[in-house]
Amino acid sequence: MSGEEPSGEKSFEPTDKRKRDAAGKGDVLRSKELATAAAVLVGATWMSWAGGWLYDALVQSLHQGLVWDRADVDDFAPGAMMMTMMIAVLPPIIVLGALVILSSLVSQLGFGTGIWVPKNLAFKGSRINPLSGLKRMFGPNGLIEIVKGLAKIGLLGTVAWAWGLSHFAGLTTLGRGDLAQQLGFAWDALITLAYWLGGGLLLIALADVPVQFFRRNKRLKMTLQEVRDESKEQDGSPEQKAAIRDRQRRMAMGAMAPAMREAQFIITNPTHFSVALAYDPERADAPILLAKGRGDRALAMRELAAEMELPVLQYPSLARALYFTTREKQIIRHELYGAVAAILAFVYSIKRGENRDAPDINVPVELRFDADGKLLPNEP
């Protein structure tokens, strides 16, 4: 055992079952960076394709808020004016918000095997516990998040700076000329900035995905004892497997009991196969195979034979030949008549109290099988 890995060290890769169990508890691959990138890019795409609706709503809202007539002055109602401005821009903003939320959900559910765990929305005191917060901030994960945050600020700042340089000339003219032209330029510039920042966020997400995979894989690694316990849970303990086999044997014994009561002797492999035979001249001209089995069923037949005091004889080649060539309740192959007749005569002599040696029998070469039922023509 000196070379065996310590059972308390988490050095084994997580099994599929452990991953499924973790996913069922909400521990799946998640990337906030991917959700942010998806939201920004979807929002920018919507504004570039259907943003005219929002642009017209904003223009209408500004017009209603900035253009007054005599009636507005005489009956000044700033609350009603603000409500009118909000109603004008509310429908396109709702659609935009719905698309952004949907893109975030799809990116996270698709990235995290599509599992939604409602209990993750439940209140957890650890989320507002100051000590837990400090541990997250100054622990290894906190340091990783700080590095990611600094990298994000640096990259997005560089992207914004490059965007500003490319639009510098247009930005310096804002405030001059026609209002509609200025709003149109600002709208196009805003969409372009969103695309630029979305591209930068996508680069961050592509770097964050393998990091999240590595962190989750490390978090789910298993100890040697956990691997053993899971193997026991899946395969069952030796005691459970023995109990299952015992139940199966008892069920087989119950099903085979009527046929075994008619049998005169059992031929075995000796451990893998068993066949029960009987010869009744009034019933058939040759011996009949009443029951057969392999594995636990063969063991059940031997246990029944012991209870019924039936002779059990070990002839491996003959047991396999009978098993693979004859169905239950059928006459055996004529090529095996001689071998079975010799055994039958031996059984009769035992019942008469004679002391004889078990006969040597010969199985035809064309009926010699291995344990898988394949012919062994060259078997000696």
> Considering 215, 231, 247, which residue would you say is the last residue of a domain?
231
Average pLDDT over residues 326-341: 94
| Per-residue pLDDT at 3 exceeds 50 | no
pLDDT band at residue 245, thresholds of 50, 70 and 90? low
**How many C-beta atoms lie closer than 10 Å to residue 274's C-beta?**
28
Of the chain, the end-to-end C-alpha distance in Å amounts to 44
Q: Are residues 184 and 309 in the same domain?
A: no
- Compute the average pLDDT of residues 212-236: 75
Q: How far apart are CA 139 and CA 33, in angstroms?
A: 20
CA distance 86 to 80: 10
CATH number at residue 265: 3.40.1690.10
Q: Are strands 273-278 and 288-294 parallel, antiparallel or unpaired?
A: antiparallel
ω before 270 within 30° of 0 (cis)?
A: yes
Tens of pLDDT along 259-276? 888 999 999 987 789 999
Amino acid of residue 126? S
What would the mean pLDDT of 345-356 be, rounded to a whole number? Answer: 90
Q: Phi first, then psi: what are they for 255, rounded to 5°? A: -75, -35
pLDDT tens digit sequence for 136-192: 666 666 677 777 778 878 888 888 888 888 777 776 666 666 666 776 777 778 888
Structure tokens at 324: 């693979």
Give a yes or no: residue 11 inside a domain.
no
Classify residue 282 as exposed, middle or buried by CB count within 10 Å of its CB (0-12, 13-18, 19+).
exposed
Pick from 132-136, 165-169, 246-250: least confident: 132-136
Give the Cβ contact number of residue 293 at 10 Å: 21
Domain final residue, candidates 231, 264, 289 = 231
Look at the block and give the residue holding tokens 């993750």.
Answer: 120
| Residue 138 and residue 211 share a domain | yes
Q: Residue 273 is encoded by which pair of tokens?
A: 């196969």
Among the listed residues 93, 92, 94, 69, the one whose alpha carbon sits nearest the alpha carbon of residue 81: 69
Segment 219-248 mean pLDDT: 69
On whether residue 375 sits in a domain, the answer given is no
User: Which of 231, 255, 290 is the endpoint of a domain?
Assistant: 231
Percentage of the chain beyond pLDDT 90 is 19
Query: Residue 294, Cβ neighbours under 10 Å: how many?
Result: 18
Is the confidence at residue 314, as pLDDT, over 70?
A: yes
Q: What pTM was computed for the model?
A: 0.42
262 CB neighbour count, 10 Å cutoff:
14
**Number of structural domains in the chain:** 2
Closest Cα to residue 19, out of 235, 210, 222, 212?
A: 222
Does residue 249 share a domain with residue 198? Answer: no
| 6 inside domain | no
Do 201 and 264 have their domain in common?
no
| Torsion (CA) 163, 164, 165, 169 in degrees, nearest 10 | 120
Q: pLDDT by residue (tens digit) across 65-85? A: 666 666 655 565 566 666 766
Strand partners, 266: 276, 312
Residue 199, domain member (yes or no): yes
Whether residues 225 and 244 share a domain: the answer is no
Round to whole Å and give the CA distance between 229 and 235: 10
Residue range of the domain that includes 247: 239-367
Residue with structure tokens 């044997």?
249
Nearest to 162, CA basis, from 182, 207, 192, 188: 192
Residues 209 and 264 in one domain: no
The total of other beta-carbon atoms located within 10 Å of residue 346's CB is: 19
- DSSP result, 169-210: HHHHTTTSS-HHHHHHHHHHHHHHHHHHHHHHHHHHHHHHHH
Give the burial class of 140: count Cβ atoms within 10 A of its Cβ; 0-12 exposed, 13-18 middle, 19 or more buried. exposed
